[in-house]
Amino acid sequence: MQFTTILTLIGFLAGSASLAAQVPGQSASDAVILDMREAFGKNQTQRLTELLPRAQSHVLAPWAAYWELRARLETAKPEEIRRFLSRYAGTYQEDRLRNDWLLLLGKNRDWSRFVVEASSYRMQDDREVRCYVLAMEHSLARVDMAQETKSLWLAQKSSDEGCALAAQLHFASQLLSDQDVWQKVRSALELRRLSAARQAFDMVAPQAGPQWAELTDKPEQFLTRSSLSSQRQTQELVVLALIRLAQSEPQRAAELLTGRWQKHLSPYQRDWAWAAIGMQAAQKLSDDSLGFFANSKLSSMQDEHLAWYARAALRQGDWQRVLSAIEAMSPEGAADSTWVYWRARAMLALPDTQAGQQARQLLQSVAGVRGFYELLTQEELGLAITPPPQPEPLTEAEKAGASDNPGLQRALAAIAIGLRSEGVREWNYSTNLHTPGGMGDRELLAAADLACRHEIWDRCINTSERTKSVMDLTQRFPMPHKQAVLLRSREIGLDPAYVYGLIRQESRFIVDARSGVGASGLMQVMPATARWTAKKIGLTSFQPNQIAERDTNIAIGTGYLKLVLDDFAGSMPMAAAAYNAGPGRPRAWRGQAGSPVMEAAIWAENVPFSETRDYVKKVLANTTIYAALISGQTQSLKGRLGQVGPRASDGTLASKDLP
C-alpha cells in the first residue's frame, strides 16, 4: 500500500519564529524549512522568496532553494537556472530541477536548450522526458525512434504531453501506423485509462470525436444502433465498444459480437475483441472465460490477455491451456517468476516425460527467498525455506561512509522534521546506482543499516531489498515493537509472524503512516473499522484520535485480523484479502456452493484486483520468512496457503457485520 505522513502542522503561523516556539524540540531554522514547504504547496512564490535567506544555513537548504526556484520556473531566466544547477551539482535537487526544466523546455519545443540539458540528466526515470528526447531527435534530425516511442507510449498510464508528441510526430511521418495507434487506444481502454485512450483516439480518428462519448458511456446502445459496416474506422469503433461493454457485461458483449458484428470485423480485430471479452470474464471469475478466449488466436493476444487466459485455465485445472498461454507471452512477460513457476507446474502436470528436466531447470532459475513464487519454487524443489547466511558484518568504515553521505544526511533530516516525501526521494536518489555515488551491495547494506539505526524502517527494508549478491534478512524483515506485537498476538491466538507479515506490507513499520483513503498507523486501520472493532474487543473508552497510538493501533488491528481470520476458518490468504479489500469480496471470490476446491496459490493468482492479488502474495511470503526468523526452523509457504473452496451451503458467518 502507498502511505504518507501528515505534513501539515496544527497551529502553523506565518512567522517561523513563533511557530518554533509552539513545537517542542523544533528549531527556528526547522520552522523556516517547514514554512517554505507549506508555501511551496500553496504556490506562494513571494513568501518563498522572502524566507529563502533564512534557510541558507540549514542542512535542507538545497530543498529550500529548489522550492523557491521551482515555484517560478516558468518565468526564471536560463542563467539563474544554470547557477542553481551549478551550485547544487551532484545533488538530488539539481537533477530534480533539471527534470522539471526539461519538461518545460519540451513543452515549449525549445530544442536548442533541451539538447544541452538532456545530456546532463542523470535520473533518467521520467518517461515523459525520454519521450521529449525522442520527439526532439525526430524533429531536428528526422531520426526514426518509432519503436521506442511505441513502447513508451503503450506503457504510458496518463495522457502526458511528451509521449503524445513523440507518437504524433512519428505517426505524421508514417513511422507509426494506424494499427499502432488503434492498439494504443484499445490497450488504454482495456485498462480503463480513459484520458490516455481518448488522446490516442483523437490522433487517429479526430472526426469521430462525437462518437467517443456514446461508445464509452453507452456501449450496448452504440453496438445495436450503429449501421453494419466493414469500413475500417467503424470496425475499430465497434471493437472499442465491445471492450467497454465487456467490462460490465462480458456475456452480452459476446452475444453482440457473435450475432451482429463478427463477420464485419477483420480476423485480427475479432481476435482482439474475443481476447478482451475473455479477459473481462476471467476477471469476473466466470467459467465462460476459457470459451471466449478459445475464439481468439494466441498469437493475436497481448501479454495482459495471456496472463488472464493462464489464470482462468489455472482456476479450471486446464494445464495444457496454462502452458499454451504462457508460451505465447513475450520473452519479458514469460520471464516473470509468476509465469516461470506456473509454466514448470504445467509441464510437470502434463503426461510428457521429456518435460520434467526442463521444468526442474525452470524452477531452479527462480528458487529462493526473495518473493512469493521464489518461495513456492523452493518448496516445489524440495528445498528447505530457511534464512540464508548473513553477509559479513559491516566495517566501521562502511558504516561511516553511509553516515557521512550528504544525501542520506539530508534525507534523515527531512524525515526527522516530518518531510517524509522529500526524505524518501532524497534517500532513493542517493542510493541509486545510476547517480553520483551510486551504491553497490555493501554500500546498500551500510545505508540500510543507517536507516535501521534511525528506525526509518521503510528505507531500511527497501534499501536492503536492492542488494543482488548478498541478502540480510534481519534488515529486510526487521521486528520493531517486538514485545508489543508478540504479547498482543499471543494473547488473542494469532501467529505473530502473520501479524508482522501484514504490518510490513501495510506500513513498513511507520507508526504515523497514513494512507490516501484515511487508514492510520502500523496496521493501517480505517476510522469506521477502528470504531467497530473497539466495541467488539471491549475497548469501551476508545476515542478516534487514539488510533494513531502504537499500542491501540496494534490492539485494534490484530483484533480485527483475528475476527476476519476466524470468519474465513483460519485461511491466511483469504483473511489477508479481506483485510485489504474488505471481507465481502473474498467471500465472492471463493466461489458458489459446488465450486471446486483449489490450491490457495491458484485462488490468490485469480484475485481480480491487482493490488489485493499482490498484497495477499506479499503478506504470505512475509509471514513465512518471519516465521523462519522467529522460530529458527524451516517453514512451509504451501502449508500456510492451504486450499480455498466455497463456504458450505449451510455455513454461517462468524461476524456477519464485518466491515
By annotation, the residues acting in catalysis are 506
Cα→Cα distances 111→381, 524, 596, Å: 56, 47, 61
8 A C-beta contact, residue 458 and residue 412: no
The H or E element spanning position 399 is: helix 396-403
Of the candidates 320, 474, 324, the residue with the CA atom closest to the CA atom of residue 393 = 474
Neighbours of 67 (CB within 10 A): 23
Taking Cα atoms as reference points, which of 578, 518, 576 lies closest to residue 547? 518
**Count of alpha carbons within 13 Å of 511, Cβ hemisphere only?**
13
51 φ, ψ (degrees, to nearest 5): -85, -25
Please check whether residue 147 is in contact with residue 179, taking contact to mean a CB–CB distance below 8 angstroms. Answer: no
Rounded to whole angstroms, the Cα distance separating 492 from 488 reads 7
Helix (H, G, I), strand (E, B) or coil at 202: helix
Tell me the C-alpha distance between 597 and 644, whole Å. Answer: 6
- Rounded to whole angstroms, the maximal C-alpha distance in the chain is 78
Say if residue 61 is exposed, middle or buried (CB neighbours under 10 Å; 0-12, 13-18, 19+).
Answer: middle
Helix H or strand E encompassing 114: helix 111-118
User: Which grid cell sits at 29?
Assistant: 531554522
Report strand pairing: 598-599 vs 643-644: antiparallel
CA distance 112 to 230: 47
